[in-house]
Amino acid sequence: MSDLGLILAVGAITFGSRITFLLRPRSAPVGAVGRFLELFPLALFVAIATSGLAAPNGAPEVTEALAAAVGGVCGAVVFRRSLWGVLAAGALAFYLTRALFA
Amino acid sequence: MFDDPSFRRGARESSLLFFATGAFGLAYGVLAVEAGLSPWLATFSSIVIVSGSAQFAMLGLLPAGPVPVLLSAAGLGLRHLPMSASLAEMIGPRSIWSRLRLAYILVDETFGLTVRAHHSGVEDVVAYKTAADLVLYSGWMLGTVTGAWFGSSIDPEAVGIGVFFPLLFLGLAVPLIHKRRDLLVGALAVGVTLIASLTLPQAWQLTAAATVAALIGAGLDE
């Protein structure tokens, strides 16, 4: 599949998920399916973050990215779960570690 | 519509989003070109998809092939189902064009603002969300175009910009943790991802880890 085709497919999937209940209003899924839908984004975001920060080259390893993860978690606690707090504290930890161990 | 008090309130209350999404758009543009997309494809993807999480995930999974990219897009799109159901209740009967327009930019940030405005009694929810969407979309597109077309002078490795991509997802995950069950799902996702990185092909690691963690979480009592 070409990059253009992939982008169009991702766009179609994203728009399809957004329009579903707006086109024909109905109740959101409930029960176990509803809970799965609610939890999946959290699980996916954490999986992507873990993969990039704790296993950046395909397997778990200790790099400055791991320091960014620790900094990001600390930033989440200190700045009350603020996105910018996570980014700022994570970046600070990353660059400090890089400067100290480069 | 521009004179509508709800529209002006939406523009005012979302103004900070312009800079926030502009910064992320800039990072997306730079990373998209770094990942191998041409500048115009990077720009086109922001026009067509309009989803930071789906687009960043697409970049991260591009080396693994189209199937993981499409699976992750479907997985990330799941969260739009309850959001669109909730928005449909808020706006009531509207024309199909209004619904299509609102669905085009159904994103976490302006949805959150719209829900808050709805609860505080905003007169016209559609005008409010339209204004917030326009502000967000302007920032996202301006950032993407700048990053994609003028970001080539930035060396992502030297600057360490790559670390912002997983950090962004950490930052997006944290506000989703409200209950003990959410925390458990997050911890499970960390553990399963690390195990998957040692045992599964790269293409399936993220989807498998997220699915397992969410399935276990869905089976738990709150």
CA dihedral B183, B73, A22, A24 (to 10 degrees): -110
pLDDT reported for residue A7? 95
pLDDT in tens, B127-179: 999 999 999 999 999 999 999 998 877 766 677 777 877 887 898 788 888 88
Percent of chain B with pLDDT over 70: 96
Chain B residues with beta carbon closer than 8 angstroms to that of A86:
167, 170-171, 174
In a domain, B67, yes or no: yes
Distance from CA of B8 to the nearest CA of A (A): 24
pLDDT reported for residue B131? 95
Chain centroid offset of residue B77 CA: 9
| pLDDT, mean of residues B194-204 | 83
Average pLDDT, chain A: 88
pLDDT reported for residue B202? 67
- DSSP code at position A29: P
By CB atoms closer than 10 A (0-12, 13-18, 19+), residue B1 is exposed
Q: Are residues B122 and B199 in the same domain?
A: no
Q: Are residues B200 and B94 in the same domain?
A: no
| Nearest by Cα to A49 from B180, B79, B164, B109 | B164
Q: Are residues B35 and B130 in the same domain?
A: yes
Which of B169, B178, B192, B215 to probe the A interface (max A CBs under 10 A)?
B169
User: What residues make up the domain containing B44?
Assistant: 5-159
> How far lies B162's CA from each of B27, B34, B35, in Å?
9, 10, 11
Q: Are residues B38 and B99 in the same domain?
A: yes
Chain B residues with beta carbon closer than 8 angstroms to that of A72:
167, 170-171
- DSSP code at position B63: G
In whole angstroms, what is the distance from residue B167 CA to residue A44 CA? Answer: 13
Q: Are residues B144 and B97 in the same domain?
A: yes
Q: Are residues B198 and B105 in the same domain?
A: no
pLDDT reported for residue B120? 78
Q: Taking the CB of residue B152, how many other CB atoms lie within 10 A of it?
A: 12
Put simply, the answer to whether B197 touches A73 (Cβ < 8 Å) is no
Question: By three-state DSSP, how is residue B13 classified?
Answer: helix
Interface residue B32 vs chain A (CB under 8 A): no
**Which of these three, B117, B132, B159, is where a domain ends?**
B159
| pLDDT, mean of residues A48-58 | 88
Question: By three-state DSSP, how is residue B94 classified?
Answer: coil
- Domains in chain B, number: 2
Put simply, the answer to whether A53 touches B213 (Cβ < 8 Å) is no
Q: Are residues B100 and B199 in the same domain?
A: no
Q: Tokens 């209940």 sit at which residue? A: A21
* ipTM of this complex prediction, to 2 decimal places: 0.83
pLDDT reported for residue B13? 83
pTM of this structure: 0.69
List, as own/partner pairs, every contact residues B53-56 make where C-beta atoms lie below 8 angstroms and the sequence separation is at least 24, other chains included. Answer: B53/A41, B53/A45, B53/B169, B53/B172, B54/A10, B54/A14, B55/A10, B55/B28, B56/B28, B56/B31, B56/B165, B56/B168, B56/B169
Q: Answer yes or no: is pLDDT of B119 > 80.
A: no
Which of A23, A24, A35, A48 to probe the B interface (max B CBs under 10 A)?
A48
Distance from CA of A55 to the nearest CA of B (A): 7
In whole angstroms, what is the distance from residue B11 CA to residue B67 CA? Answer: 38
Q: Are residues B114 and B202 in the same domain?
A: no
Q: Are residues B107 and B58 in the same domain?
A: yes
More confident site: B146 or B208: B146
Q: Are residues B98 and B9 in the same domain?
A: yes
Put simply, the answer to whether A17 touches B209 (Cβ < 8 Å) is no
By CB atoms closer than 10 A (0-12, 13-18, 19+), residue A9 is middle
In a domain, B122, yes or no: yes
pLDDT in tens, B49-79: 999 888 988 988 888 788 888 988 888 787 7
A-B C-beta contacts closer than 8 Å: 274
Q: Answer yes or no: is pLDDT of B221 > 70.
A: no
pLDDT reported for residue A27? 64
| pLDDT, mean of residues B17-22 | 83
Range name among A36-40, B141-145, B185-189 with the lowest pLDDT average: A36-40
pLDDT reported for residue B183? 94
Put simply, the answer to whether A45 touches B172 (Cβ < 8 Å) is yes
In a domain, B168, yes or no: no
68-97 of A, contacting B, C-beta below 8 A: 68-69, 72-73, 76, 81-87, 90-91, 94-95
The band of A88, judged by pLDDT with boundaries at 50, 70 and 90, is very high
Q: Are residues B9 and B91 in the same domain?
A: yes
Q: Which two tokens stand for residue B99?
A: 């619904």
Give the per-residue SS3 of B114-181: HHHHHHCCCCCHHHHHHHHHHHHHHHHHHHHHHHHHHHHHCCHHHHCHHHHHHHHHHHHHHHHCCCHH
Residue of B nearest to A43 (CA): B210
Question: By three-state DSSP, how is residue A13 classified?
Answer: helix
B/e letters for A25-35, b = 16+ CB within 10 Å, e = fewer, are: eeebbeeeeeb
